[in-house]
Amino acid sequence: MARTRFTKDAGLSARMGLTMFLNGLIYVVLIAAIWWILGGSTGGVVIAVLLSVGIFWFQWYFSDKVAIKAMGARVVSPQQAPELHSLVDRLCQQADMPKPQVAFADTRVPNAFATGRSPEHSVIAVTRGLLDELEPKEVEAVLAHELSHVAHRDVTVMTVAGVTGIVASLMMRSFLFARGGRNNNGVPIQLLLMLVGVVVYALSFLLIRVLSRYRELAADRAAALLTGSPSTLASALVKISGQTQKMPQQDLRQTAGASHLAFFNVGSLFSTHPSLEKRLAQLDKISNQLSTEL
C-alpha cells in the first residue's frame, strides 16, 4: 500500500496478497494441465507462458488506456476542466499522494473509476452524468473513494490478477479451433482444453469478485475518514443508485466494458460491488464513530 494519509486497511492488504498467491497457484496448475493435455509436450507450455507474459505486459502498461477507451473518456487538462482538477488537486494534497491524470467521459451514466499500474501512472475519470447529478462536495467524496483505490494499489492487483482469467478464457475458445486428436490417455484434446479453461476461469473469476467487493468497502472507509464526512459519500451513493436504475439498458451495455472499475455497479448477480445497504450501513457506523470521538 502506498504511503499516503488514506487509512491503511490490513484486511485489504491480506486479501490482496492471498488473491495474488491463489491466482499464481491457479496459473501454475493451468500450465501443468496444458502440459498433461498435450502429452508432456513442452511446445504448448512455452506458448502458454509466452502468451501470458504478453498479456501481462499489455495489461500492465496499457490498462489505463484500455479502460479510458472502453468508457469513451478522454484525458482533460486543468484549462479544460478547472473545477474537476481543483477537486483532485485538493484531495491529493490532503492525502499526500501523487496527482493522477484526470479524464472525462461524456455519458449520462453517473459513474467514476480509477485505473493505472501505480500511483505515479494512474488515471481517475468521471462522467458527465456524475457531475450533473451530484453536488461539488459529493463529487469530492466520490473522487476520494477512487483515489483511495490508487493509494491502496488494489487497482494494480485487480489488473494483474485478471491475467489468469484472460488466459483461461482464451483456452476455452481455443477448443473451437484446435485440431482433433487425443492425448496419451485417450481423452479428446479439445474437450480437455475447454474443461480446464472453464474451471480455471471460474476460480479466477470468483477470487477477483470477492476481492472487488471488499476493496469497495475499504475505499468507502478510506474516503469517509479522509474527508471526515461519511454522510456526504452516503448521499452520493444514494443519488447515483437512483439515477443508474433509471438509465436505459443501451447506456448500461455501453459502459459494461469497464464495470469492474466503476464507482457504482448495477445488479447483484456476480456483482463487483457490495450492496448499497451494506455500504450505507458501514458509512453510518463510521459517522457514529466520528461523532463519538468529537
273 known member of a binding site = no
- Give the DSSP H/E element, type plus range, for residue 34: helix 10-37
Radius of gyration of the chain measured on its C-alpha atoms: 21
Closest CA relative to residue 243, chosen from 145, 107, 109 = 109
Ligand-binding annotation for 145, yes or no, is yes
Report domain extents, the chain: 10-293
- Alpha carbons 203 and 107: distance in angstroms, whole number: 33
pLDDT digits (tens), the chain, 294 positions: 556 788 888 999 999 999 889 888 888 887 787 777 766 667 766 777 787 788 778 877 887 888 888 888 999 999 999 999 999 999 999 999 999 999 999 998 899 999 888 888 899 999 999 999 999 999 999 999 999 999 998 888 887 777 777 777 776 666 555 555 555 555 666 677 778 778 888 888 888 888 888 999 999 999 999 999 999 999 999 998 875 555 444 443 344 334 444 676 655 545 677 889 999 999 999 999 988 876
pTM for the complete prediction? Answer: 0.81
Catalytic residue among 133, 138, 140, 146: 146
Q: Is 216 annotated as a binding residue?
A: yes
Alpha-carbon dihedral sign for residues 90, 93, 94, 98: positive
135 is catalytic: no
